[in-house]
Copies of this chain bind each other. A is one copy, B any other.
């Protein structure tokens, strides 16, 4: 059955762990298309994984199966999940990795994986990606019903997503991700800011630096200019034209970003 299974992990690519997962999947469903989202999530970075998955899953066609493993508690009693939403399936540990999914998709069902018929007799306690999640995703891609994998759950774990705070003078947010280019992604969404920008030019303070107003494209800034823009996931992003804002500002995840209304 031709289905897409995406993979997102913190396994890196140097040890062959991801290769092993793909081998298992293709052994069960040779027709499926396996696509990497990323394997460079920081080791045990559940928040980072949740964010990247939340930004990416909707670019895939409906019916795609998203297999995500960032799993510090592998081998413990933490639940292993199959989540079905209106548009997609998600397979992975129940540790909040799907938090953005729960906020954006209607959950049709969440199943705790229990049925050992779908995985090998011997299961390692360190690599459920290969021994549990990969076979479950592959059988799902063959048309197996989610409820066949175990028991329906009525609750699941979420992680805290930092929310912007309203202040007397405007809004305070924070950096939630720094991308490959050194762009600083904040938790300040377009829907919150766009009404404000209509009133005039926003002032943005970050790490002692000030930015006045938002740009519509990177190239509206001069080389070396610090700028603010809505990124491709509709979050406010701080960039340094032609360079890394992250390095120049010595910025880190969690750093505060203050917005002052015009």
Contact residues of A with B, CB < 8 Å?
2, 4, 6, 8, 11-24, 26-27, 30, 33-41, 43-44, 52-53, 55-56, 59-61, 64, 72-76, 124-127, 130-131, 177, 179-181, 216-220, 229-232, 237, 242, 244
Closest Cβ–Cβ distance, residue A234 to chain B (whole Å): 8
B38 near A23 (CB under 8 angstroms)? no
Inside 8 A of A75's CB, which chain B residues have their CB?
A: 216-220
Among B21, B126, B131, point to the contact of A217 (Cβ < 8 A): B126
- How many copies the complex holds: the figure is 3
B60 near A23 (CB under 8 angstroms)? yes
Closest Cβ–Cβ distance, residue A28 to chain B (whole Å): 9
Among B35, B61, B179, B232, point to the contact of A19 (Cβ < 8 A): B35
Inside 8 A of A39's CB, which chain B residues have their CB?
A: 13
Closest Cβ–Cβ distance, residue A175 to chain B (whole Å): 14
Distance A74 CA – B34 CA, assembled complex (angstroms): 29
Distance A144 CA – B52 CA, assembled complex (angstroms): 32
B16 near A52 (CB under 8 angstroms)? yes
The answer to whether A56 and B23 touch (CB under 8 A), given A13-B38, A16-B8, is: yes
Among B18, B23, B59, B131, point to the contact of A232 (Cβ < 8 A): B131
Distance A219 CA – B123 CA, assembled complex (angstroms): 16
Distance A260 CA – B14 CA, assembled complex (angstroms): 32
